[in-house]
Chains A and B, each alone.
Chain A
Amino acid sequence: MSAPQQFKYITKKRRVREDRRFVTGKGRFAADFKFPGMLHIAMVASPFACAKINSIDSSPALELPGVHYVLTGVELAANINPLLSGLDLPDVKRLPLANGRARYAGEWVAAVVADTRHIAEDAAELVAIDYEMLDFVIDPEEALQDTAPVVHPENGSNIFFDKTWTWGDVEGDFAKAEHTLALQAKWSRSSTVPIETFAVTASWDEGREMLDIWASIQMPKYPEQIARALQIPVTSVNVHFDVDVGGSYGLKRGIRQTVIVAYLTKKLQRPVRFIEDRLENMAGGEMHGPDRVFDMEVAYDEQGIMESLKITATDDCGCYPGRAPLQLGKPVSAIVGPYRIKSARYHARSVSTNKTSQEAVRGFGQAPTNFAIETVVDRIASTLNISREEVRRRNLIRSEEFPWRIPSGSEYDSGDYHAVLDKLMRAADWDKLIEKRNSFRNDGKLAGLGLSTCLEPSGGNSSFEPLFNPKNDTTTWMESCLIKVDMLGGICAMMGTSSSGQGHETLLAVSIAEVLERDPDSIRAIHSESVGALPSNSPVGSRMAIMLGGAAAGAAKKIKNQVIAIAAHNFQLPEDRLVYEGGDVYVKGDTERCLRWEQLVDIAHRQYHNMPIGSEPGLQAQHTWEVPTGGAMPKEDGTVQMYPCYAFEAHIPLITIDPGTGQVQIHDYYIGHDCGTVINPDIVRGMTFGGIAHGIGAALYEKFQYDESGQLQAGTFMDYLLPSAHEIPAVEMIKHHTPSPLTEFGQKGSGESGYLGAPAAIASAVNDALAPLGKSIATLPMRVRDLEELLNS
């Protein structure tokens, strides 16, 4: 590992430049764009968990003044290509509107287009649909039975994916082990649920043959997917990536919504907008997250050292596969967590049921897996009567062992887990917390202290794609930046993706400023329109600090080299005699002989006679790079390198449970966090606190509950409960920085931080509180009713 770098702008507190427009109400979100003649959509949703659609009579709706069109699934299916699936399931067609059969309650069956959203909703009530109810299946265990109704009869079964990998001598390690234990852990269906629903406006310009799109989008290869579905060239799709996205955390994929709107604007030759209302969003927006049962087995010795791990993860994918089943794939990148486990078996099953589909959710399946692994670690501790922190210390990979290769093939880049844990325990004053817990107990309360130590695989080397789908040979996960220096010396950097709160403009400005030694506030960063954008894989997998920051630094270095070359030519000196400082270039030892930034830029733009022979006029550079460690297909034994960088976090919450009501209160919360070099401390803090809050939601409050008739019971904000400022405690963050050797500044990802360890930590605390009663719980969320019922059982 290299010595820590010294930075001028990076790591320093700096206001996030995007924030100024947000505090003045001048953000530009998808619903803020209006166009003359714009039409509005409301969806007609199936009321049944599964039903054949015999006929749709749109005429009563069309008679209502102001109604322009009713689009049915039949018409749409006949005119578009089905949407891409992450898995090799050619017989499962995913379409934006149900075609012939509705497969979950809330699935969109028709889209009504009208002058206003109000009229569209009036008309949606008038669309007469003849449904024939069919058998359905809600429970994933039941869906696996031979007798279960099949969600997609064309697929033959409800299994979307079922595969087992064995890495290392699992059976041997289990046979030799002094102890084994097995447990089941459940993670219920929840999601990131941004405050902004999905919104999209599309406008087809017949003259330019261009489909302009303004959408609240976070989706890799979004223009390509829209073009493919609509059977038009990608060069005819222009996505305005400068739309501010009101929260996403992985979720805002919106391909179905966009295809509907895009089809209609072409058909009707008017701009068309669809803003999901909260009911459409929750039931039909296909934005639910992992819904998973883990069957865990571990082999360990008398000291609590884990030798081998077997995981069976059964995921209720809901109705359509999309990318969701791949959320079983990312955990392969950290299948043994931060622990020195020699061998592992992973049985991953994705099951379809008559529920709305999953979409990518913060961490892409890692948070549930971390929760299951941590549950195992705590159980070992309690079984052997060793403290939870000691069991972790004995199993955590040691700092001198990096890079560390785990059984499934990924190499962890760097870390100092013991240092983070030690720092955290000191800062939190673990012994004092135990005293505090015990004094709660003495007052008759149930009190518990939690601990989790978890990884955040970051950087988005998404090689679970070829691992889960042999027909998919994608190994390219790139990011780009284009920098233009204008004639007056201004710097403009472009990215080819939208942002949903990650502060990418600030990231670009600071990364470039660091290399070019220019004031970050003088550097403008913009989101290109997609037709002019360089390749991007969008902000997924905690990758942008690494990948966009790296692309920006790479492009900036090229600019710097060009500037030095121009100076060398003008001084008629070799480059190694020159010094670059703050954009100016002077002769080593003679600062008087200096060409200032403005002069060098002027030469580049106006004085071709002073430019090195054969050089390009102007001053611009682009850098597109592949994710570090990326570019390899999985090997035959199922090993593969995923995610380049591994951030680490350790959590300690102190909670009490009201024994009479089951209510949980969080009194203290500490997190130790290491994401390498921190580019902007406020951004990393914010993401971590937000991730913890989201994790507390998943652990205690949030669940998309379905009833026996297949109806979603949590379709509003009165039933799906996002934690408020009352439920989320003040959090103390203890920082540690182990740079990554793989990235420009030593940074790792932090976009999913907090969320990856908080649910496990809260579960650990609740179980610590229950331990004196001899009770335990391993199902999330642990709602008041669940805890009270457990206490009274």
Chain B
Amino acid sequence: MKAASFDYIRAKSIDEVCSALNQGDGEAQIIAGGQTLIPLMAMRMSRPQTLVDINDIEELRGIEVAEKVAMIKAGTRQADVLSSIEIRNNLPILSEALGHVGHTQTRNRGTIGGSLVAADPSSEICLIAQLLDATMIAKSTAGTRSIPANQFFDSAMVTSLKDGECLMEIDFPIWNQKRTGFGFHETSIRDSDYALAAASAQIAIGGNNKCERVHLAVGGATPSPLRLNEVETALIGSVLDDSVIDDAVSLIPNLLEPQSDVHASAEYRRRVTCVLAARAIRDARDRAQGKFS
């Protein structure tokens, strides 16, 4: 299980990355943490001619939290985001989800941007990006552009990043409503396995106890994480008692086209996604109402 040969460039700047990608003619690839890419290369399912290592680039690392947005540089290690108090305080759902990503040892190398670019269907980070409408900022020799999450994930392992583009930063919106809560549930076979199905919700409750704002997204079950606007619409403006939630999630089966694999059937994923979505919504509601134990 040895990778095919490749050339290696350790880039010192973003410009160097962009020019190396440009010269690579589509055969050059960025490596950051390598926690997804290196196994694929070991099995020769991926064989880039050139690897451009971005680990030395300081400007690709760091977390900055402003009032309405948390800006995380793409090369920030998952472990550093997980241990960030600012993230835990302002984007608790991201902290929660990161606890489910791999193991300590892979989180110490794996980066936030790396997971997004890999776009694994079961990726928790992709799910949260989709849930919160994160914005990906990418740079190439042609310039910089922003890509909203709902235009970022094309299909399993495929994003809308173009050849030559380097993901620079991910901006996660922060909700400022006072009574905001989140819920995150996933089912995996072993504790740290890829999610067979996952669901996340973030809810803001108004003064009348009605749902003022809600985002719901599911992952693992479909090729890319999916926002479920129809379900959100069914929740918004209501007091979220269990029957309202159950009615809303009953819409989910028709919204999903899950995949089957060795670990779970499409039917399993469809059913379990509903279960997890209901749990995530309930947790989000309870947290928003300060009732979460």
Q: Give chain A's interface residues, CB within 8 Å of chain B.
A: 117-118, 121-122, 125, 277-279, 658, 660-663, 701, 705, 707, 713-714, 716, 718-719, 721, 723-724, 726-727, 783-785, 788-789, 792
A661 to B276, CA, bound (A): 8
CB distance from B246 to the nearest CB of A (A): 12
A726 to B104, CA, bound (A): 14
CB distance from B256 to the nearest CB of A (A): 16
Specify which chain B residues have a CB less than 8 angstroms from the CB of A701 in the assembled complex: 189-190
- Could you pull out 29 A-B pairs where Cβ atoms are within 8 angstroms? A118-B5, A121-B44, A122-B5, A277-B1, A278-B1, A658-B187, A660-B272, A660-B275, A660-B276, A661-B272, A662-B268, A663-B187, A701-B189, A714-B262, A718-B194, A721-B189, A721-B190, A721-B193, A724-B190, A724-B192, A726-B190, A727-B190, A783-B263, A784-B196, A784-B264, A785-B265, A789-B265, A789-B267, A789-B268
Given A118-B2, A122-B5, A784 contacting B189 (CB threshold 8 A): yes
Closest-by-CB residue of B relative to A784 is B189
Known: A721-B193, A724-B191; 15 extra A-B contacts, CB below 8 A, are A121-B44, A125-B44, A279-B1, A662-B268, A714-B262, A718-B194, A721-B189, A723-B190, A726-B190, A783-B189, A783-B263, A785-B196, A788-B272, A789-B265, A789-B268
A-facing residues in B258-285 (Cβ within 8 Å): 262-265, 267-268, 271-272, 275-276, 279
B191, A122: Cβ atoms closer than 8 Å: no
B43: Cβ under 8 A from any A Cβ = yes
Specify which chain A residues have a CB less than 8 angstroms from the CB of B276 in the assembled complex: 660-661
A716 to B268, CA, bound (A): 23
CB distance from B238 to the nearest CB of A (A): 23
A519 to B278, CA, bound (A): 65
A-facing residues in B183-203 (Cβ within 8 Å): 187, 189-194, 196-197
A658 to B2, CA, bound (A): 40
B4: Cβ under 8 A from any A Cβ = yes
A719 to B4, CA, bound (A): 23
A768 to B273, CA, bound (A): 27
Closest-by-CB residue of B relative to A719 is B262
Specify which chain A residues have a CB less than 8 angstroms from the CB of B190 in the assembled complex: 701, 721, 723-724, 726-727
Closest-by-CB residue of B relative to A280 is B1
Q: Interface on chain B toward A: helix, strand, loop, or mixed SS?
A: loop
A-facing residues in B144-184 (Cβ within 8 Å): none
Specify which chain A residues have a CB less than 8 angstroms from the CB of B1 in the assembled complex: 121, 277-279
A279, B43: Cβ atoms closer than 8 Å: yes
Specify which chain B residues have a CB less than 8 angstroms from the CB of A718 in the assembled complex: 194
Partner of B268, one of A707, A714, A727, A785: A785
CB distance from B274 to the nearest CB of A (A): 9
A661 to B263, CA, bound (A): 13
Closest-by-CB residue of B relative to A279 is B1
A465 to B280, CA, bound (A): 57
B186-225 vs A, Cβ < 8 Å mask (1 yes, 0 no): 0101111110110000000000000000000000000000
Closest-by-CB residue of A relative to B103 is A724
B262, A705: Cβ atoms closer than 8 Å: yes
B187, A784: Cβ atoms closer than 8 Å: yes
B271, A122: Cβ atoms closer than 8 Å: no
A619 to B154, CA, bound (A): 78
A-facing residues in B233-265 (Cβ within 8 Å): 262-265
A727, B191: Cβ atoms closer than 8 Å: yes
Partner of A661, one of B187, B194, B267: B187
A785, B191: Cβ atoms closer than 8 Å: no
Closest-by-CB residue of A relative to B279 is A660
A122 to B276, CA, bound (A): 45
A201 to B86, CA, bound (A): 54
Given A279-B43, A788-B271, A117 contacting B2 (CB threshold 8 A): yes
A661, B189: Cβ atoms closer than 8 Å: no
State the 4 A-B residue pairs at the shortest beta-carbon distance, nearest first: A726-B191, A660-B275, A277-B1, A713-B262
Specify which chain A residues have a CB less than 8 angstroms from the CB of B265 in the assembled complex: 785, 789
CB distance from B103 to the nearest CB of A (A): 9
Specify which chain B residues have a CB less than 8 angstroms from the CB of A663 in the assembled complex: 187
Specify which chain A residues have a CB less than 8 angstroms from the CB of B44 in the assembled complex: 121, 125
A792, B271: Cβ atoms closer than 8 Å: yes
A481 to B50, CA, bound (A): 58
CB distance from B105 to the nearest CB of A (A): 13
A705 to B197, CA, bound (A): 21
Specify which chain B residues have a CB less than 8 angstroms from the CB of A658 in the assembled complex: 187
Specify which chain B residues have a CB less than 8 angstroms from the CB of A660 in the assembled complex: 272, 275-276, 279
Specify which chain B residues have a CB less than 8 angstroms from the CB of A785 in the assembled complex: 196, 263-265, 268
> Which of B194, B262, B279 has the most CB atoms of chain A within a 10 A radius of its CB?
B262
Specify which chain A residues have a CB less than 8 angstroms from the CB of B264 in the assembled complex: 784-785
Closest-by-CB residue of A relative to B194 is A718
Specify which chain B residues have a CB less than 8 angstroms from the CB of A278 in the assembled complex: 1
A625 to B15, CA, bound (A): 75
Given A661-B187, A726-B190, A122 contacting B196 (CB threshold 8 A): no
Closest-by-CB residue of B relative to A703 is B262
CB distance from A30 to the nearest CB of B (A): 17
Specify which chain B residues have a CB less than 8 angstroms from the CB of A122 in the assembled complex: 4-5
B5, A726: Cβ atoms closer than 8 Å: no
Specify which chain B residues have a CB less than 8 angstroms from the CB of A277 in the assembled complex: 1-2
Closest-by-CB residue of A relative to B272 is A661
A-facing residues in B17-75 (Cβ within 8 Å): 43-44
Given A279-B43, A713-B262, A719-B262, A661 contacting B191 (CB threshold 8 A): no
CB distance from B149 to the nearest CB of A (A): 26
Specify which chain A residues have a CB less than 8 angstroms from the CB of B194 in the assembled complex: 718
Specify which chain A residues have a CB less than 8 angstroms from the CB of B5 in the assembled complex: 118, 122
Specify which chain B residues have a CB less than 8 angstroms from the CB of A723 in the assembled complex: 190
Specify which chain B residues have a CB less than 8 angstroms from the CB of A788 in the assembled complex: 268, 271-272
CB distance from A244 to the nearest CB of B (A): 22
CB distance from B180 to the nearest CB of A (A): 25
CB distance from A698 to the nearest CB of B (A): 14
Closest-by-CB residue of B relative to A121 is B2
> Which of B2, B4, B271, B275 has the most CB atoms of chain A within a 10 A radius of its CB?
B2
A661 to B187, CA, bound (A): 7
A714 to B197, CA, bound (A): 20
A117 to B4, CA, bound (A): 11
Specify which chain A residues have a CB less than 8 angstroms from the CB of B191 in the assembled complex: 724, 726-727
Specify which chain B residues have a CB less than 8 angstroms from the CB of A661 in the assembled complex: 187, 197, 272, 275-276
A724 to B105, CA, bound (A): 15
Specify which chain B residues have a CB less than 8 angstroms from the CB of A117 in the assembled complex: 2
Specify which chain A residues have a CB less than 8 angstroms from the CB of B279 in the assembled complex: 660
Specify which chain A residues have a CB less than 8 angstroms from the CB of B263 in the assembled complex: 719, 783, 785
Closest-by-CB residue of B relative to A786 is B268
Specify which chain B residues have a CB less than 8 angstroms from the CB of A724 in the assembled complex: 190-192
A662 to B4, CA, bound (A): 40
CB distance from A417 to the nearest CB of B (A): 34
Closest-by-CB residue of A relative to B4 is A122
> Which of A661, A723, A789 has the most CB atoms of chain B within a 10 A radius of its CB?
A661
A-facing residues in B56-99 (Cβ within 8 Å): none
A723 to B267, CA, bound (A): 25
Specify which chain A residues have a CB less than 8 angstroms from the CB of B187 in the assembled complex: 658, 661, 663, 784
Closest-by-CB residue of A relative to B269 is A785
CB distance from B102 to the nearest CB of A (A): 12
A121 to B191, CA, bound (A): 34
A724 to B192, CA, bound (A): 9
A326 to B265, CA, bound (A): 35
CB distance from B244 to the nearest CB of A (A): 18
Specify which chain B residues have a CB less than 8 angstroms from the CB of A121 in the assembled complex: 1-2, 44
Specify which chain B residues have a CB less than 8 angstroms from the CB of A713 in the assembled complex: 262
CB distance from A60 to the nearest CB of B (A): 15
CB distance from A426 to the nearest CB of B (A): 32
Closest-by-CB residue of B relative to A706 is B262
A723 to B189, CA, bound (A): 10
Specify which chain A residues have a CB less than 8 angstroms from the CB of B262 in the assembled complex: 705, 707, 713-714, 719
Closest-by-CB residue of A relative to B265 is A785
Specify which chain B residues have a CB less than 8 angstroms from the CB of A727 in the assembled complex: 190-191
A792 to B279, CA, bound (A): 18
